[in-house]
Structures are given as structure tokens and as C-alpha cells.
Amino acid sequence: MSRAYRIAVKENLKRIIRARDHVSTQLEILEVLPKDQMADLLKEELKRRGFEEQGQELVRSQNGVTVTVDPRAGTVKVEAERQESVELEGERVGRAWDDAGPNATQMKDQLRKELVADLEKQAGTKEAELQKSATDALEAQLADLRQELDRAVNRVTAEALKQKAATLGAIKEMTEDAESGALTIVLEV
């Protein structure tokens, strides 16, 4: 009479998974002054808003989201990045007609192959969850960032208009409504 042997295999999977999502856009800046002067005004306004200079670009990172602005080109790149260390382990059990012969070896190989495929699938699921987390973080920041950048561009445009008006004549009267962004300049030419 034959007897079946219990064959068990264990596997561990350790991996660092990364997820990244980004979006790029262009700022709409009126060229009231020459391009270099407009870029300098934008650069100064963004510095006041917490951006730091890194070469020709201005960068701000918070909550895993990095905003990069090129004031010369007027481009904005928003990037969310997530990273997580994943440790998965599993065990598979099967039966073979021998405990150390070809049947047991074949069964171990098959069980190990199935287990590794299952662990890879679990890691893929974790990676998809992490990707969703990065996308959600990006989307959460975009609405507020759009408003902030619009306000910065409005401030830059107002400052450029003030400088341009000063070159055209003597400023007689200037009123500015910070709430609505309205600016009225009366010049004496």
C-alpha cells in the first residue's frame, strides 16, 4: 500500500514599491514688462509663498507632493511620489507519493512556482493601492495649488502694471482691491 507525504514550501518576498503621478501646466502670464522682468517678479512672489530656488526653478514640497515652477518658461510641474517597503510571506502545502524522490521535487517546484506567483500578485495589488494613494494626494493638492498660483500671477501682473505705469508718467492715484484683484491707476502724462 502506498502512502502520500505532505510537502510544504514557504517563501518570502521583500520589495520596495514606488508610485508616482504628475501633471504639468502652463501659467498664463501677461507680458506687461519684458519677459525677464516678469520672470523675476514671479520668482520673488513665489519665494514669498514658500518656494525655494533650485537652479533656474522654484520648488516646494509638502505632504509628499512637489511643485516645480520654471518662472522663465512659465511651466508648472506637480508630482506626488509614494514609497513603501513590502514584506510578504506565504506557505503552500501539497501531497507527493515519496518524501525525497522525483515526485516530491516536482511537487515542491510546482508549489513554489504557484506561491511566488501569488506573492507577486499580492505585491502588485499593494503597488496599485500605493499608486492610487499618490494620485489621490496629487488631486487633493491641485485645487488649492491652482488658486494659489492664480493669486500669485495676479500679484505679479499688478506689480508689473504699477512698474509700467510709473515709466509712462506720474502716478496720480492708485487704488487696489486685494479681494477682487481690481487695480485702478490714474496717470498724469
Residue pLDDT, tens place only, 166-183: 888 777 777 877 777 777
Mean pLDDT value across residues 131-152: 87
**137: Cα separation from own chain's centroid:** 8
- Is residue 136 predicted with pLDDT exceeding 80? yes
Q: Could you give the residue ranges of the DSSP H alpha helices within 6-101?
A: 35-48
Number of domains in the chain: 1
The CA-CA-CA angle for residues 158, 163, 169, to 5°, reads 120
- Is residue 1 predicted with pLDDT exceeding 50? no
Cα–Cα distance for residue pair 119/125, rounded to 1 Å:
10
For 74-114, what is each residue's pLDDT tens digit? Answer: 999 999 988 899 999 999 888 877 766 677 788 888 989 99
Cα–Cα distance for residue pair 65/78, rounded to 1 Å:
7
Q: Which pLDDT score, from 0 to 100, does residue 99 have? A: 66
Cα–Cα distance for residue pair 154/115, rounded to 1 Å:
58
For 152, the domain range is 5-188
Single pTM value for the model: 0.72
Q: Which pLDDT score, from 0 to 100, does residue 144 have? A: 85
pLDDT tier at 58, thresholds 50, 70, 90: very high
